[in-house]
Amino acid sequence: MVDIRVKICGLRTVADVAAVAASGAAYAGFVFFPKSPRHLTIDQARELTLAAPVGLAKVALVVDADDATLDAITEAMPLDMLQLHGHESPDRVAEIRARYGLPVMKAVGVADEGDLAAVLEYSLAADQILVDAKPSKNAALPGGNGLSFDWRLVAQRRWLRPWMLAGGLTPGNVAEAIRLTNARQVDVSSGVELSPGVKDAAKIAAFVAATRAPAVPRLR
Ligand SMILES: O=C(O)c1ccccc1N[C@@H]1O[C@H](COP(=O)(O)O)[C@@H](O)[C@H]1O
């Protein structure tokens, strides 16, 4: 059985961190985007990252952040990865990667085949690509909307960089998403919540368990 690496994003409490660690997820995501119900202050995020056990990778999610914001975040807490979820150009991604010495995951929004060109564009600059659903034009958030895309668009894709599937995943659909796409990494936020920003330990455990289920057939 292939071990699928799971990222649970948008943690807001020490109990969330404990639930994610207990679930066997590989990554814990912390959101720095004031419009999000999952937004953390630097002090809040510092407390959560310090509570994370060794082995749980701590990911800071930012949206078009400037250097001052990134300086403040990276100086205040231990991090293992930066997730760029805005309109950062490939040059800006490379600049951030060099400046902070942390692996960078660039989010690419997908609604149709044409959007996949961006995966190649960012593959030289970023360490990983997050393939997420493209938000609607009037969406308040660039991610974390519980919106999925047609997974067949990324079925069996092989790219230069490791990639992670995101967008509208839930404990109920993640096994099928993995089966269809052959993704080795998955990311979820709203699908493991009781309400926006309120994570549920049982849903987190069920989500990770669903990625481990022997019923998930491998395609090769
Ligand atoms: O979660 C947020 O609030 C968020 C805010 C701004 C940008 C991205 C955000 N979340 C990311 O979006 C994916 C998909 O979310 P969902 O599972 O569809 O709710 C999530 O995993 C985060 O990486």
- pLDDT tens per residue, range 99-115: 999 999 999 999 999 99
Is the residue at 22 inside a domain?
Answer: yes
Instruction: Please state, as a whole number, how many other Cβ atoms lie within 10 Å of the Cβ of residue 102.
Output: 17
Q: What is the mean pLDDT of residues 140-155?
A: 94
Distance 84 CA to ligand 1 centre (A): 11
Please state the domain count of the chain: 1
pTM: 0.95
Distance 179 CA to ligand 1 centre (A): 22
Could you report the per-residue pLDDT of 7-54, keeping only the tens digit for each? 999 999 999 999 999 999 999 999 999 999 999 999 999 999 999 999
Is the residue at 219 inside a domain?
Answer: no
Domain containing 88: what range? 5-212
CATH code of the domain containing 122: 3.20.20.70
For residue 109, the cross-strand partners are 132
Mean pLDDT of the chain: 95
Instruction: Please state, as a whole number, how many other Cβ atoms lie within 10 Å of the Cβ of residue 112.
Output: 10
Is the residue at 38 inside a domain?
Answer: yes
Is the residue at 196 inside a domain?
Answer: yes
Q: Is 132 a catalytic residue?
A: yes
Is the residue at 217 inside a domain?
Answer: no
Could you report the per-residue pLDDT of 180-204, keeping only the tens digit for each? 999 999 999 999 999 999 999 999 9
Instruction: Please state, as a whole number, how many other Cβ atoms lie within 10 Å of the Cβ of residue 3.
Output: 10
ipTM greater than 0.90: yes
Is the residue at 178 inside a domain?
Answer: yes
Is the residue at 148 inside a domain?
Answer: yes
Q: What is the DSSP letter of 125?
A: T
Mutate to test the pocket of ligand 1, among 5, 61, 62, 83 (most ligand atoms within 8 A of CB): 61
Is the residue at 99 inside a domain?
Answer: yes
Distance 15 CA to ligand 1 centre (A): 19
